[in-house]
Amino acid sequence: MGAVRQDVATLGAGWNKTLLNYALAMRALDELPISNRNSWKFLGAMHGFDEELWRGEELIGTGPVPADLTNGTYGDQCQHGSWYFLPWHRGYLATFEAIVAAKVKELTGDDWALPYWNYLDASNPEARKVPAAFIADKLPNGDPNPLKTYPRRPGLSALQPGRRDAFSLAAAEETDFTVDGGIGYGGGITGDFIQFGNWTGDIENNPHNTVHRLVGGYMTDPRLAGLDPLFWLHHCNIDRMWEAWMRAPGKKMTRDSRWRDGPADRLFLMPQLGGADPGITFGGSDTLTGGRFHPTYDDLTKGTGVVPGAVAVARVGMGPSHQQTVEPIGANAGAVSVGSKPESSLVTLEPQATTAGVAAMGATTPGAKVSRFYLALEAVRGQAPAPQIDVYVNLPEGADPDAHPELHAGNLTMFGLNVASRPHGRHAGNGLGYTLDITELAQRLKQAGDFDPSKLRVTLVPGEHVSDQQPITVDKISVLKRTGTVS
Amino acid sequence: MPRAATLRSFAHPPWRALFVAAGCGLVLSACGMATATVPLLCRSSAISELTAANAADAVALAIALNPPGPLMAGWALMLLAMMPPLLAAPLMHVWRSSLPQRRQGSLALFLIGYCAVWMAAGPPLIVVAVALHMLGGGSLWVTFSLVIMALVWSACPWQRAMLNRGHRQMRISLFGWAAAGDCVRYGVVHAIWCVASCWPWMLAAVAVQDWHLAAMMAVGAIMLGERLAPPEPPRWRWPALLRAIDPRSARAPLQGLLRHG
């Protein structure tokens, strides 16, 4: 774990040594049977596994599935929609890196570290391009390219986000890892092993989820995503963003024992190098500085949205996370279903609480009460693995959404919605939850005289993977008020 | 780590308040109200003599000799002693989904719905427990058999399906009568799945004649363990109690042996 992880764009064009070694190791690991805990497919199935789907995709034969993947130990562990998203994936990356590095050593004698795909590096005009080695048909020696084995969006050569896609470094502006009530950089609080929890953190929605959808193919489905070798470079970059965020002054990482210990009802478990028992169990504290899974990166500045060591807080601090409050101040009247057409819903607001919140929105005086507003989409359910919607506030009826970017509240890619919606899945079919910060939008509306403290009109515009055949339902749209003290 | 982490998580809200509530229920059960608890139904010598001749008459006599008021009060205390820790997740959902000024009322409405269902479930469970004891002549084998039945129930896929359903959260409206109605409805629906998943264990707790308080605590802990286990696809599995005693049983191939069971 001592190797330094580098930007893949700095390692040389085409088949540089790091990516060639990655391909050779992947080919060797993918030839191992899935019963081998260090095999490529076993590692992929640790993220998500569905026997029927994997047999349908001919990823496994007709033989028995290893018990490790179905008995609540190694298989199907990925954590999304909660504050375990970042630490679990950090442990997962470190385990994968150690196994691949050992295979590279065995095959070539070289040292190896997992590179990251720095797709939001503004200083690199080609940052969004998929590294050429992942889309080449052949290895330098003419053999088929293992890095291209698993399907992606047809013709993919670069990430091509739409105008409204959540593909930015906006998550870095958040100051708190988590605030009770579903708001924060890292995701909502839980003490349980929940693969898809109630509240998605800012970094998970943007850019993590968006990149999964933009790459397409297996990357859109958490049950298959871990098989794509690009997955690991993507998550390595997300992990680097987290490391940069933690090191920036003004950012408040959680110290909650439930996070540090890991879930109470099931262990996070990774295989040893070689796969022998016992596996490696860990909690959040193992992923922080000094922990066994803590990584080292060559750079924490480019494409992270923060500058370590510099005050990079773009908004006022709101005091200690545990002293902030989050309360609902508005909600719509019933569930909303979105198919191929936009759907609007009226959100009734509690005028007194809203007016008080509006008055405190722009507070900057230390010690003064300060508020932020969030639009919450609760218990979102659907059958597609990564559907996308845009959310607008006070969009006039019948208006073209594209003509009103000033009313755009946010864009959501609901990675894993299919898994979170299964009635007998790990999440009991409770679906996913999202919060969108609409403070600046509310301020704009207020300045334009278009903010009514008694109601908001919310419009959900379907995007990719949402249709009448695969609609999404939102149980409740509410407005949350987060209150703290200017610090 | 999970057991220690579980215990540490109990230090966070709302667990402490819920364990305090359960403790109050236990203390009250141990005091005067305990005389109305269910096991004493079968202790009358007249009932015992009548049981041998006509079990149906004996059940009727037992009910007649035990007025429903104290009996249901005893049942309510039993619920108070055993159920609060099971309600952590739904209570937090109701709390967070309600306007701050309505939160206490929302919790009360949820609990009204929840308790109404459990109070309705009490009489049938009591009658069955009494009948089984009379048919079994008060033998310990009756209790033993009920525990075995509860363990089998905890292993079966139907119980898992009902536990999964109980984890489902419902929409809670924010304003007016809709908010009140949603809280009551959520309490009722949650209780229905709670009864459906727990009834064999509650029946076993009701049927225990001696060490009744200890049985209540043990059954309460078992039900809490089952409730804290993460949802999973329904299939045959080792009961939570056995998994807690020996975690290796979680990996044993029960599901393979009983896959088609």
Taking 60 as the threshold, does the pLDDT of residue B41 lie above it? no
Q: Which residues of A touch B160 (CB under 8 A)?
A: 424
Q: Which residues of A touch B224 (CB under 8 A)?
A: none
CB contact under 8 A, B8 and A258: yes
Q: Which residues of B touch A262 (CB under 8 A)?
A: 1, 5
Q: Which residues of A touch B97 (CB under 8 A)?
A: 328, 476
Listed by start position, the domains of chain B span 2-257
Q: Encode pLDDT of B180-206 as tens digits.
A: 999 999 999 999 999 999 999 999 998
B8-37: b (≥16 Cβ within 10 Å) or e: ebeeeebeeebeebbeebbebbeeebbebb
Q: Which residues of A touch B161 (CB under 8 A)?
A: 424
The pLDDT, as a whole number, for residue B255 is: 45
Q: Which residues of A touch B1 (CB under 8 A)?
A: 261-262, 267, 281, 283
Instruction: Calculate mean pLDDT across residues B234-254.
Output: 69
A259-291: b (≥16 Cβ within 10 Å) or e: bbbbbbbbbbbbbeeebeeebbebbbbbbeeeb
The Cβ of residue A19 has, within 10 Å, a number of other Cβ atoms equal to: 22
The CATH architecture of the domain made up of A321-485 is Sandwich (2.60)
Q: Encode pLDDT of B86-98 as tens digits.
A: 999 999 999 999 9
CB contact under 8 A, B1 and A283: yes
Distance separating alpha carbons of residues A238 and A207, to the nearest angstrom = 8
| One-letter identity of residue B6 | T
Place of tokens 């109990």: B10
Taking 50 as the threshold, does the pLDDT of residue B1 lie above it? no
**Are the CB atoms for A139 and A15 separated by under 8 Å?**
yes
Pick from A258, A330, A430: CB nearest B168? A430
Measure A163 CA to nearest chain B CA, in Å.
33
Q: Residues of B near A (CB-CB distance < 8 A)? A: 1-2, 4-6, 8-9, 12, 96-100, 160-161, 164-165, 167-169, 171-175, 178, 228-234, 250-251, 253, 255-256
The pLDDT, as a whole number, for residue A311 is: 55
Place of tokens 């940052």: A127
CB contact under 8 A, B251 and A425: no
Distance separating alpha carbons of residues A200 and A186, to the nearest angstrom = 8
Listed by start position, the domains of chain A span 4-297, 321-485
Instruction: Pick the closest to residue A478 from B38, B179, B183 (CA basis).
Output: B179
Instruction: Pick the closest to residue A150 from A215, A228, A216 (CA basis).
Output: A228
Q: Mean pLDDT by 10-residue block, N- to C-terminus, for chain A (487 residues)? A: 89 96 98 97 97 96 91 91 95 98 98 98 97 97 97 97 94 93 88 73 96 98 98 98 95 92 87 95 95 97 82 73 95 97 97 93 90 96 96 95 95 95 85 94 92 96 96 97 94
With 0-12 CB in 10 A as exposed, 13-18 as middle and 19+ as buried, what is B259? exposed
The pLDDT, as a whole number, for residue A197 is: 67
The Cβ of residue A127 has, within 10 Å, a number of other Cβ atoms equal to: 18
Q: CA of B166: which chain A residue's CA is closest?
A: A428
Instruction: Calculate mean pLDDT across residues B50-61.
Output: 65
Reply yes or no: is the peptide bond before residue B14 cis, omega within 30 of 0: yes
- A360/B254: higher pLDDT: A360
Cβ partners under 8 Å of residue B149, min gap 6: B200, B204
Taking 70 as the threshold, does the pLDDT of residue B251 lie above it? no
CB contact under 8 A, A428 and B165: yes
- Superfamily covering domain A4-297: Di-copper center containing domain from catechol oxidase (1.10.1280.10)
CB contact under 8 A, B250 and A476: no
Cβ partners under 8 Å of residue A4, min gap 6: A113, A296, A297, A298
Q: Quick one: pLDDT band at residue B256, thresholds 50, 70, 90?
A: very low
Q: Residues of A near B (CB-CB distance < 8 A)? A: 67, 70-73, 181, 191-194, 257-258, 261-267, 281, 283, 327-331, 333, 335, 348, 350, 353, 378-379, 423-430, 475-476, 478
Taking 70 as the threshold, does the pLDDT of residue B144 lie above it? yes
Tell me, rounded to whole angstroms, the distance of Cα A479 from its chain centroid.
22
Taking 60 as the threshold, does the pLDDT of residue B43 lie above it? no
Tell me, rounded to whole angstroms, the distance of Cα A192 from its chain centroid.
19
The pLDDT, as a whole number, for residue B258 is: 41
Q: Which residues of B touch A181 (CB under 8 A)?
A: 96
Taking 90 as the threshold, does the pLDDT of residue B177 lie above it? yes
C-alpha pair distances (Å), B84 with each of A190, A261, B17, B22, B62: 19, 25, 9, 6, 30
B12, B158, B174: which to substitute to probe chain A, counting the most A Cβ within 10 Å?
A: B174
Pick from A265, A379, A423: CB nearest B229? A265
Measure B40 CA to nearest chain A CA, in Å.
38
Q: Is A275 left (phi over 0), alpha (psi -120 to 50) or beta?
A: left
Pure H helices in B102-175: 103-135, 140-155, 157-166
CB contact under 8 A, B251 and A73: yes
Taking 70 as the threshold, does the pLDDT of residue B252 lie above it? no
Q: In this structure, what are the phi and psi dihedrals at residue A346, rounded to the nearest 5 degrees?
A: -85, 125
B169, B224, B226: which to substitute to probe chain A, counting the most A Cβ within 10 Å?
A: B169
The pLDDT, as a whole number, for residue B253 is: 45
Taking 70 as the threshold, does the pLDDT of residue B232 lie above it? yes
Tell me, rounded to whole angstroms, the distance of Cα A35 from its chain centroid.
29
